[in-house]
A and B are shown apart, each in its own frame.
Chain A
Amino acid sequence: DAKTTQPPSMDCAEGRAANLPCNHSTISGNEYVYWYRQIHSQGPQYIIHGLKNNETNEMASLIITEDRKSSTLILPHATLRDTAVYYCIVRVESGGSNYKLTFGKGTLLTVNP
């Protein structure tokens, strides 16, 4: 799986959009970008994933650049409960050992009141 690079920490004001970047310059054509988050003392929670088109669900939006070398997770209206470590993971959707989620150190997002 391709390696990802994320900033170690970010701050965001409550009610504002949080934009979390991820670099994955060695991503392969069949690899998806996944985002998980881990709130303190809890298990990781799936947020969203995408291949090349932008994706949106009830939790967040995922913007993938045209060359697919980077992406941004957007939380449109951050709340205090969004404070967590956010992990960007690149993996193939099926086959091989795609079940092995590889978590780096992620980005600690702190939402401030």
Chain B
Amino acid sequence: NAGVMQNPRHLVRRRGQEARLRCSPMKGHSHVYWYRQLPEEGLKFMVYLQKENIIDESGMPKERFSAEFPKEGPSILRIQQVVRGDSAAYFCASSRRDGGNEQFFGPGTRLTVL
């Protein structure tokens, strides 16, 4: 069973560009969560999605950030007009059901904004 897959693993963008991060959940999982980890800090919840629905985006900045989980294909976290403060590791997790006692995490995407 493949685990949660994220790509790219490393992404470098210049200020003002767009960053697009992808997450494929584990097989059989229909719940996806995105977290951000700033340097030397713990992970912070950003958004929770089910197929075609955003359940909770309370942890996501209201501007420049958006997330989707289409019926087909991976979940996408999109950051428009990136700034240096967006440099962080972005982790995706998935679970089989709502809440999910066990959220399985992907390896993360490390975004560096120059």
In the complex, are the beta carbons of A43 and B105 less than 8 A apart?
yes
Does B101 lie within 8 Å of A49, measured CB to CB?
A: yes
27 sampled A-B residue pairs with Cβ under 8 A: A41-B108, A42-B108, A43-B105, A43-B107, A43-B108, A44-B93, A46-B103, A93-B101, A94-B99, A95-B99, A97-B56, A98-B99, A99-B31, A99-B95, A99-B100, A100-B45, A100-B48, A100-B59, A101-B35, A101-B43, A101-B45, A101-B93, A101-B103, A102-B45, A103-B43, A105-B42, A106-B42
User: What band does the interface of chain A fall in when counting residues whose beta carbon is under 8 Å from B?
Assistant: 20 to 34
Cβ of B69 within 8 Å of any chain A Cβ, yes or no, is no
Chain B contacts of A45 at CB under 8 A? 105
Known: A87-B42, A97-B56, A99-B48. A44 touches B91 (CB 8 A): yes
Instruction: Tell me whether A7 is interfacial, beta carbon within 8 Å.
Output: no
Apart from A94-B98, A100-B59, A105-B41, what are 7 other A-B pairs with CB-CB below 8 Å? A44-B105, A45-B105, A95-B99, A98-B99, A99-B56, A101-B43, A103-B42
B65 at the interface (CB under 8 A from A): no
Tell me the dominant secondary structure on chain A's binding face.
loop
The CA of A103 and the CA of B44, in the complex, are separated in Å by 7
Chain B residues lying within 8 Å of A102, measured Cβ to Cβ, are 42, 45
Number of B residues near A (Cβ < 8 Å) is 26
* Minimum Cβ distance to chain B for residue A35 (Å): 12
Flag A34-75 by CB within 8 Å of B: 1 or 0 each: 000000011111100100000000000000000000000000
Residues of B within 8 A of A (CB): 4, 31, 33, 35, 41-45, 48, 56, 59, 91, 93, 95, 98-108
**Contact residues in A for B98 (Cβ distance below 8 Å):** 94, 99
Interface contact A43-B93, CB-CB below 8 Å: yes
- Chain A residues with CB under 8 A of B33: 99, 101
